[in-house]
Structure 1
């Protein structure tokens, strides 16, 4: 049933209750060219307290994952001290094409307002060859800043979304 969201989508800060489900989180080889597997991202989160792992749930099932990175992590992407970096974003293969990515992006602003009220900008780096992800981010209010950096899989486009909570 492509194009149909299964259950209500929500964002939740990662907890150890999600650990077993993250072990079986599936991404294709092609996806892994562009993003980190949640298990690898979680290891980095353990080492760096300025990284906050977030699970995208459909009902109670983890369908996706991303990390919000503050402070030093965001500096290569924005000079704004109130910016946060969105990184390691993915939706499991079995959940793609169901509107989950779109829903998670729609929920992101409210999630940030509640969890990080001082944040007024979200930035991310997306591979220049990853057209599908670029379209998702643009439809979700991100704009291409025109800045480029070199990433593990080639050129990365820096996208930004200004947040207006007030």
Structure 2
């Protein structure tokens, strides 16, 4: 990392949400992470989501959303021990600096602290996004073997990570 600071994660304030809306992504990353402004607004408005700002000091360098399932999805029953990570992205100016792994560690630590009843963090990652697959694997996520079809970026791997155990530390 180019800075001695470690990134931290917080539930986005109104000002932090506005800064997150302005994060620049590569065209490829936008396909994988989705429209950040849409995800910020949607997560801020949804009672079963958290809009999360990634901070380096006082600067918003990234965003992700956490969704807490409250209804059955497809053939799966509601699992109130599960949290879904979506729209994970660091702004273009902050990519390639080694922040991804510490941000995921901070995300998992934050969830374990705020929601100790939640035992698993799940995400879908596009099969072609080998950099993200590698990052998530290094952060302790395990490929479930399930493939989710469709989406703008193509087939996605379902990956899961246990919360509160074996946390990576910088």
Q: Is the Cα contact below 8 Å between 2:116 and 2:164 reproduced in 1?
A: no
CA 1:13 to 1:108, structure 2 compared with 1: closer, same or farther past 3 Å?
A: same
- Which of 59, 62, 70 lines up with 1:61 in the alignment? 59
Secondary structure (helix, strand or coil) at the match of 1:119 reads coil
Q: Is the Cα contact below 8 Å between 1:125 and 1:157 reproduced in 2?
A: yes
Measure the CA separation in 2 of the matches of 1:77 and 1:93: 37
Q: TM-score, normalised by structure 2?
A: 0.87
- Where does residue 168 of structure 2 map in the other structure? none
1:69-80 alignment runs, 5 A limit = 69-72=67-70, 75=73, 80=79
1:36-55 alignment runs, 5 A limit = 36-55=34-53
Between stretches 128-137 and 12-21, larger displacement belongs to 12-21
- Where does residue 143 of structure 1 map in the other structure? 142
Q: TM-score, normalised by structure 1?
A: 0.88
Secondary structure (helix, strand or coil) at the match of 2:87 reads strand
Query: What is the CA-CA distance between 1:6 and the residue it aligns to?
Result: 5.7
Measure the CA separation in 1 of the matches of 2:71 and 2:29: 22
Measure the CA separation in 2 of the matches of 1:152 and 1:113: 31
C-alpha RMSD of the superposition: 2.1
- Where does residue 117 of structure 2 map in the other structure? 118
Tell me the number of residue pairs that the alignment of Structure 1 and Structure 2 aligns: 163
Between stretches 50-59 and 72-81, larger displacement belongs to 72-81
Q: Is the Cα contact below 8 Å between 1:77 and 1:158 reproduced in 2?
A: no
Measure the CA separation in 2 of the matches of 1:50 and 1:159: 21
Measure the CA separation in 1 of the matches of 2:20 and 2:164: 33
- Where does residue 27 of structure 1 map in the other structure? 25
